[in-house]
Chain A
Amino acid sequence: MPLLSFWKKYERDTVSQRILERLEQTPDRLYARVHAGEATHSISYRRLAEGAAPYAAACAKANLAAGDRVVVLKEQGPDLLYAFFGAIFAGAVPTILAPPSPRQDPAHFWRGHREVMERIRAQLLFTTPKLKTELNSFPTGHDIAAVTEEDLPSASKLLIPDTCSQDVAFLQHSSGTTGTKKGVMISHAALLHQVDAYAKRLGVSEEDHIVSWLPLYHDMGLIACCLLPVLTGVPVTMISPFEWTMRPTLLFDLIERTKATLVWQPNFAFQHLINCVRPDDDWDLSSVRAFIDCSERCRPETLDQFASKFGAMGVRKSSLHTCYAMAETVFAVTQSEPGTAPRTETIDTQALIDDGVARPTLDMHATTSSVLSCGKPIEEITVLIMDEEGNRLPDRRIGEICVSGPCLARGYDRQPEKSSQVFREGWYHTRDLGYLSNGELFVTGRIDDLLILNGRNHYAHDLEFSLRDTSGIVPGRVMAFSEYRDDLGSDVLIVLAETRETDAAALKTIKKNIRDTMLDETGLVPASIHLFPLMWLIKSTSGKISREATANKYNSPALEEGLT
């Protein structure tokens, strides 16, 4: 009997069950304070339930079956939270997609989103009146019912849905253009294990307070700053990513006001703050016990600058942390030890390239690279480094980072081939390169042509494909790659393309075409675009563009004059 009751509890340990327990125990405790424009909304567990109930009722009214997909497409605000949790309480599977950016062409935006909705066979779209009108202007064969706040039925009580822990709780969509967007299927069990293990590693308590500007369509925003808070009872204060981008110091205002203790953001955001805080500005940031650098390569020089610039405001080196995370493992794989600054290793670059070994060196004449530790795996997660044949590599040997454990996703929604390429025999093959040393993970690069720009992943071939119809460039003769910029603390996008045009005005028009198309299709703005005459890009014998050789040619000082 005890075993059976344990099993029953485990089976029914779901997101909705846990939220209802909190609702019962601490209904008036603050879950989230959301700043949206001029308004501030304080959301208790009771308010969350009241706000989510009409959305759950809308799912029931639409006769959604358990597991049916629901898309949430709203600006950051309380209603986005209510819609997401309402769908979960209805037993449906929500996914939050990015709303259009002000500069994005609506036709491109809807073409991409429509395709995703069709692929996952979404039954319902929770959105705003403005986007509902737009949706109807861009119809496709796939029929989806759009529901706005005004259309919601009245309901105030949440029911426990008939879901079990192995059911899919939500989909986390990756970035990129339509062709490569993947809906990562996260089960209740995987999510709850992640939250429990990650909270334990960080020593999270109800005394903590999280401040976040991160979008909720991104795994770092959704897991660390939306689901971890609601499931652990840690309050979170949120601002919109748009507002933060324009006024990054809003984050510091909120830290000071709320005495926040935990902040997650990608490396570029640390640099953006370094660049945008004036010398005479002052805040008390001493309450923060962990600023966590995550979702793109953590750079030791960025964290050093951050500690140096904001040291007088109470930022300690020991409060700057690193995390290695991805949606395919719900979120965190490893996390540096709270209270201790993560270790930086100086390794011999030549040994890295020639022998695939991370060899620490003190040789002043050697070419070296500094690599920041991402810490040890969280509880029950195993990290191995494997070679191309799948053999386990010893400490300090560079290979593919592979992850196993109870946080692994169920694969990509309705994309079995893509799933089986990376989820194999209980391991998620990350395509990231790195090494282990004394149980700590160090990330050194990528196996394939993935670009990480401002914390979001984009495949180079996908970006190149988006330019396929761009007027003036030779079809198939385009290359997208990234370059690290110290001043931005992040990689930037570079586009190289071949053209038959030579006229200066025509070249200018082609560059504008590339810029416009890239922005519309991907939301990205290239840092630079360079046009070359036919046959400039180097192709391999297989007919594919040789990325390394072309990038080397581009970086060669001798070719400076050839750039247009």
Chain B
Amino acid sequence: MTSTDETFGRVCSVIAAELGCLESDLSATTTAEDVDGWDSLAHARLIMSLEDRLSIRFPGEKLFDLDCIGDLVSLADEALAPNESKHL
């Protein structure tokens, strides 16, 4: 399993818990518009949950430019990279 696959699973699990949708309905191309209730406030809560669950901090300026879950996973992977190297 690649780091992206693993991150994808963790990100989808947080999205499903935060927005009350099914993990099986989510894919890398799913956008916020595809999920009921995914507005800007829900997005902020989601980002905070992801930061807590993955022990990362997203760069604020990039949070407005995400088109789909795949972008969010890539951003999480970028944020995870230095954390993981620290643990090596």
In the complex the two chains form, is B32's CB within 8 Å of A247's CB? no
In the complex the two chains form, is A454's CB within 8 Å of B41's CB? yes
Interface of B is mostly: helix
Tell whether A245 pairs with B36 under 8 Å between CB atoms, given A102-B64, A278-B52: no
Kindly state whether residue B53 has any CB partner on chain A within 8 Å.
no
Per-residue CB proximity of B44-56 to A under 8 Å, as 1/0? 1101100010000
In the complex the two chains form, is A492's CB within 8 Å of B37's CB? yes
In the complex the two chains form, is B43's CB within 8 Å of A246's CB? yes
Closest A residue by C-beta to B51 = A278
- In the complex, A528→B38 CA distance in Å? 10
- In the complex, A161→B60 CA distance in Å? 43
- In the complex, A268→B65 CA distance in Å? 24
**In the complex, chain A residues whose CB is within 8 Å of the CB of B36:** 511, 515, 526-529
In the complex the two chains form, is B33's CB within 8 Å of A516's CB? yes
**In the complex, chain B residues whose CB is within 8 Å of the CB of A160:** none
Closest B residue by C-beta to A525 = B39
A247 partner, pick from B34, B38, B44, B52, beta carbons under 8 A = B44
**In the complex, chain A residues whose CB is within 8 Å of the CB of B48:** 276, 278
In the complex the two chains form, is B41's CB within 8 Å of A272's CB? yes
In the complex the two chains form, is B44's CB within 8 Å of A242's CB? no
Per-residue CB proximity of A499-515 to B under 8 Å, as 1/0? 00000000000011001
Closest A residue by C-beta to B48 = A276
Interface residues of A in 251-298 (CB under 8 A from B): 268, 272, 275-276, 278
Closest B residue by C-beta to A38 = B61
Tell whether A525 pairs with B44 under 8 Å between CB atoms, given A102-B64, A515-B33, A519-B33: no
A150 → chain B closest CB, angstroms? 24
A512 partner, pick from B34, B38, B40, B44, beta carbons under 8 A = B34
Interface bin, chain B: 20 to 34
In the complex the two chains form, is B38's CB within 8 Å of A272's CB? no
Tell whether A246 pairs with B34 under 8 Å between CB atoms, given A102-B64, A278-B52: no
Kindly state whether residue B22 has any CB partner on chain A within 8 Å.
no
A272 partner, pick from B34, B44, B52, B63, beta carbons under 8 A = B44
**In the complex, chain B residues whose CB is within 8 Å of the CB of A103:** 32-33
**In the complex, chain A residues whose CB is within 8 Å of the CB of B37:** 492, 525-528
In the complex the two chains form, is A276's CB within 8 Å of B33's CB? no
Tell whether A512 pairs with B41 under 8 Å between CB atoms, given A242-B64, A278-B52: no
In the complex the two chains form, is A245's CB within 8 Å of B41's CB? yes
- In the complex, A529→B21 CA distance in Å? 13
Per-residue CB proximity of A85-118 to B under 8 Å, as 1/0? 0000000000000000011000000000000000
- In the complex, A275→B37 CA distance in Å? 16
**In the complex, chain A residues whose CB is within 8 Å of the CB of B60:** 243, 246-247
Closest B residue by C-beta to A245 = B40
- In the complex, A512→B36 CA distance in Å? 9
**In the complex, chain A residues whose CB is within 8 Å of the CB of B40:** 242, 245-246
Interface residues of A in 440-457 (CB under 8 A from B): 454
Kindly state whether residue A488 has any CB partner on chain B within 8 Å.
yes
**In the complex, chain A residues whose CB is within 8 Å of the CB of B39:** 524-525
Per-residue CB proximity of B21-36 to A under 8 Å, as 1/0? 0000000000011101
In the complex the two chains form, is B64's CB within 8 Å of A246's CB? yes
B41 partner, pick from A37, A268, A511, A526, beta carbons under 8 A = A268
**In the complex, chain B residues whose CB is within 8 Å of the CB of A454:** 41
B39 → chain A closest CB, angstroms? 4
In the complex the two chains form, is B33's CB within 8 Å of A488's CB? no
**In the complex, chain B residues whose CB is within 8 Å of the CB of A276:** 44-45, 48
Closest A residue by C-beta to B19 = A527
- In the complex, A528→B39 CA distance in Å? 12
Most chain B CB within a 10 A radius of its CB, from A243, A247, A248, A525: A525
**In the complex, chain A residues whose CB is within 8 Å of the CB of B44:** 245-248, 272, 276
A446 → chain B closest CB, angstroms? 22
Per-residue CB proximity of A513-538 to B under 8 Å, as 1/0? 00110010000111111000000000
Closest B residue by C-beta to A512 = B34
In the complex the two chains form, is A246's CB within 8 Å of B63's CB? yes
Per-residue CB proximity of A132-170 to B under 8 Å, as 1/0? 000000000000000000000000000000000000000
**In the complex, chain B residues whose CB is within 8 Å of the CB of A511:** 36
- In the complex, A37→B33 CA distance in Å? 26
A276 → chain B closest CB, angstroms? 5
Most chain A CB within a 10 A radius of its CB, from B34, B41, B43: B41
**In the complex, chain A residues whose CB is within 8 Å of the CB of B41:** 245, 268, 272, 454, 488
**In the complex, chain B residues whose CB is within 8 Å of the CB of A492:** 37
Closest B residue by C-beta to A524 = B39
- In the complex, A275→B40 CA distance in Å? 14
**In the complex, chain B residues whose CB is within 8 Å of the CB of A519:** 33
Closest A residue by C-beta to B52 = A278
**In the complex, chain B residues whose CB is within 8 Å of the CB of A516:** 33
**In the complex, chain B residues whose CB is within 8 Å of the CB of A524:** 39
Most chain B CB within a 10 A radius of its CB, from A276, A278, A528: A276
Per-residue CB proximity of A528-555 to B under 8 Å, as 1/0? 1100000000000000000000000000
- In the complex, A479→B34 CA distance in Å? 20
- In the complex, A268→B41 CA distance in Å? 10
B37 → chain A closest CB, angstroms? 4
Closest B residue by C-beta to A528 = B36
B58 → chain A closest CB, angstroms? 9
> What 3 A-B pairs come out closest when comparing CB atoms?
A525-B39, A527-B37, A245-B40
- Extra contacts, 7 of them, besides A246-B44, A272-B44, A527-B37 (Cβ < 8 A), are A246-B47, A247-B44, A276-B48, A515-B34, A516-B33, A525-B33, A528-B36
A selection of 7 A-B contacts at a CB cut-off of 8 Å is A246-B60, A272-B45, A492-B37, A515-B33, A525-B32, A525-B39, A528-B37
